Chains A and B, each alone.
Chain A
Amino acid sequence: MANIAAQRIKREFKEVIKSEEVAKCAIKLELLNDSYTELKGEIAGPPDTPYEGGNFVLEIRVPETYPFNPPKVRFITKIWHPNISSVTGAICLDILKDQWAAAMTLRTVLLSLQALLSAAEPDDPQDAVVARQYKENLEMFKLTAKHWTNVYAGGPFVNSDCDDKIKRLIDMGIEEHQARVALSSYNWVLERATEQLFS
């Protein structure tokens, strides 16, 4: 790995560890190997959002050409968000693409992702299904996002209605996550989700 990338990551790692956000448990960073190429990030769901109370784990890969190219980041924790793929965790955020600048750091990336959770950009979606729901039925979106946060990110909000519907599908032999995706995509209308699953 190029010297400059390793030097930067070493320093950025220290910067994050010492930052006040870590002190407030808002972000976390962990090294996965000695060569500073793979890290695990964690951000807390921002307050007053459907993600509140959840912890979202991120996979961070540092390219050879860092910091001239942005780090490759994706969500490991499943999340319901217009700019994050509910399937792969891929993120649509300008600073991770063409708006990257060499002076940005892993700390600013983590904070930007946290900000993205507070302020979605449905007009620049990564997940078209989620984005449509966000624009057409904001309440339904919030409910779904809260439910996903509860199930996958350890959020406190339990929605027994959702759980019941998923249970019904599981009883029909559908895998749990698949059931949740289908119901989420069809605004929790059991009939339509079933129809889609069995068509």
Chain B
Amino acid sequence: MGFELNRFQGEVDEELVCPICSGVLEDPIQAPICEHAFCKSCITEWISRQPTCPVDRQIVTSPQLRQVPRIIRNLLSRLCITCDNAQYGCTRVLKLDALAAHLEECEHNPKRPLPCEQGCGLIIPKDELKDHNCIKELRALIHTQQQKLNEFQQEFTEQRFLLAEQRREMQLLKDFMRAMRISNPSMRAIADAMERDEVLRWSNSLQRARVTRWGGMISTPDEILQRMIKRTLTEMGCPPHILDDLMENCHERRWPPGLCSLETRQNNRRQYENYICKRVPGKQAVLVLSCDNPHMGEDMMVEPGLVMIFAHGIE
């Protein structure tokens, strides 16, 4: 709907008046052929009732409406209009194109948001400020938040229940799978193949590592070091069924005959370079997976692989 005519200073040309609302064109738009201009909201409302030009009844549909010529827009933007908040004391007279910007910051706007200065800190529309009661507002706020809190609590309980339920079901499924695997040889073969594939996929996703100083190998890592490596492996997406075995194989007591003592290690030193190692990001350690190393002799490899922890020398 357009701007009321009596808000303008001086005469407004008839051409700038919307034939529907009889106000000065707001957001003007025109019909394609007859070029009659209307406020956008007015003509949209009319076309929703019947698709004709309200002046000459030519067929017009919404997508056919066009922007009015620049000259019309310029003439409109030059008109001088009083502020919307004139009745609340604003005496400003502005160019029509500056009105929107002024309204944003007009201090006479009764709905202008202001902070309460009595200490509650809430932002209140100006016209509601005089009836504003901090305690009442804050109480209402607390009330709604309490309600929200209760809702969350309820949801939390619900979710916890669901989680427990799912955990139980998952365990049941696992048990069932284990039983199938034990009782049925073909199932066992399938499960084994799936696990092998999973290890292979994981291994392919890891980056190669290069050991520059094999002498830095720690053959008896302590508990803390082991836990740290284990956590990293979990974060790397290590398949759970090999995680424990891998971690067991980080200590010389579980290493293959060719590595399990200082003496055999000395003897087999030259074979180290043949290992294909994978990086353990951020750690001085490498993974030597048996699926990557079928070329190594049996006395140099164990299933499903080894973890070698170093003091230094990993790239």
Stretch of B50-58, B176-184, B233-241 contacting A (4+ beta carbons < 8 Å): B50-58
Whether B54 lies near A101 (C-beta < 8 A) is yes
**Please, which residue of chain A has its CB at the minimum distance from the CB of B5?**
A11
**Total residues of chain A contacting the partner, CB 8 A:** 14
Any chain B CB within 8 A of the CB of A4?
A: yes
CA distance A121 to B21 in the complex (A): 32
Question: What distance in Å separates the Cβ of A170 from its nearest Cβ neighbour in chain B?
Answer: 49
Residues of A within 8 A of B42 (CB): 4, 102
Inter-subunit contact A7/B55 (CB<8 Å): no
- Residue of A whose beta carbon sits closest to that of B17: A11
B46 adjacent to A7 (CB under 8 Å)? no
A68, A99, A101: the one contacting B45 at CB < 8 Å is A68
B1 interface residue per 8 A CB criterion: yes
Chain A residues with CB under 8 Å of B1's CB are 3-4, 7
Q: Which B residue's beta carbon lies closest to that of A10?
A: B22
What's the interface size class on B, roughly? 10 to 19
Does any Cβ of B come within 8 Å of A12's Cβ? Answer: yes
- A:1-42 near B, CB below 8 Å: 3-4, 7-8, 11-12
**Minimal Cβ-Cβ distance residue in B for A99:** B57
Q: Is there a chain B Cβ closer than 8 Å to A82's Cβ?
A: no
Does any Cβ of B come within 8 Å of A45's Cβ? no
The answer on a CB contact under 8 Å between A8 and B22 is yes
Report the separation of the CA atoms of residues A55 and B145 in the bound assembly, to the nearest whole angstrom: 70
Q: Determine the chain A residues whose CB is within 8 A of the CB of B19 once the complex forms.
A: 102-103
- Whether B57 and A7, one on each chain, are in contact in the complex, defined by CB atoms closer than 8 angstroms, is no
Q: Are A101 and B52 in contact (CB under 8 A)?
A: yes
Residues in B neighbouring A12, C-beta threshold 8 A = 22
Residues in chain A near residue B45, CB distance under 8 A: 68
The reply to whether the CB of B20 lies closer than 8 angstroms to some CB of chain A is yes
Q: Are B23 and A7 in contact (CB under 8 A)?
A: yes
Task: Write out the residue numbers on chain B whose beta carbons fall within 8 Å of the beta carbon of A101.
Answer: 52-55, 57
| B54 lies within 8 A of A103 (CB) | yes
* Residue from the list B4, B5, B20, B23 in contact with A102, Cβ < 8 A: B20
Q: Pick the most buried of B5, B52, B54, B55: most chain A CB atoms within 10 A of its CB.
A: B54
Pair A7/B21 contact, Cβ less than 8 Å: yes
Distance of A7 Cα from B49 Cα, bound (Å)? 21
- Please name all residues of chain A whose beta carbon is closer than 8 Å to the beta carbon of B36 when the two chains form the complex: 103
Chain A positions within 8 Å of B57 at CB level: 99, 101
Q: List residues of chain B with CB within 8 A of the CB of A71.
A: none
* Residues on the B chain within 8 Å of A7, using CB: 1, 4, 21-23
CB within 8 Å of B: which of A40-69? 67-69
Nearest CB of chain B from residue A148's CB, rounded to whole Å: 34
What 1/0 flags go to B52-90 for Cβ under 8 Å of A?
Answer: 111101000000000000000000000000000000000
Q: Are B21 and A4 neighbours in the complex by a CB distance under 8 Å?
A: yes
Q: In the assembled complex, how far is the CB of residue B198 from the closest CB belonging to chain A, in whole angstroms?
A: 69
Chain B neighbourhood of A67, CB < 8 A: 20-21, 54
Q: Mark A96-131, 1 if CB is under 8 A from B, else 0.
A: 000101111000000000000000000000000000
What CA separation (Å) do A104 and B4 show in the bound complex?
A: 19
Interface of chain B residues 183 through 241 with chain A (CB within 8 A): none
Task: Give every chain A residue within 8 A of B21 (Cβ-Cβ).
Answer: 4, 7-8, 67
Residue in B21, B22, B36, B46 with the greatest tally of chain A CB atoms within 10 Å: B22
Nearest-Cβ distance from residue B33 to partner chain A, whole angstroms: 16
Q: How far is the CA of A3 from the CA of B22 in the complex (A)?
A: 11
Task: Please indicate which of the listed interface residues A7, A12, A99 has the most CB atoms of chain B within 10 Å of its own CB.
Answer: A7
Query: Are the C-beta atoms of A102 and B46 separated by less than 8 Å?
Result: yes
> Which residues on B sit within 8 Å (CB–CB) of A11?
5, 22
| Chain B window 78-115, contacts with chain A (Cβ cutoff 8 Å), 1 for yes, 0 for no | 00000000000000000000000000000000000000
Could you pull out 12 A-B pairs where Cβ atoms are within 8 angstroms? Answer: A4-B20, A4-B42, A7-B21, A67-B20, A68-B46, A68-B49, A69-B49, A102-B20, A103-B19, A103-B36, A103-B54, A103-B55
**6 smallest beta-carbon distances between A and B, as pairs:** A102-B54, A103-B19, A103-B55, A103-B54, A11-B22, A102-B20
Contacts beyond the supplied A12-B22, A102-B19, A102-B46: 10 A-B pairs with Cβ under 8 Å: A4-B42, A7-B1, A7-B22, A8-B22, A11-B5, A67-B21, A67-B54, A101-B52, A101-B55, A101-B57
Chain B residues near A (Cβ < 8 Å): 1, 4-5, 19-23, 36, 42, 45-46, 49, 52-55, 57
| A residues neighboring B (CB under 8 Å) | 3-4, 7-8, 11-12, 67-69, 99, 101-104
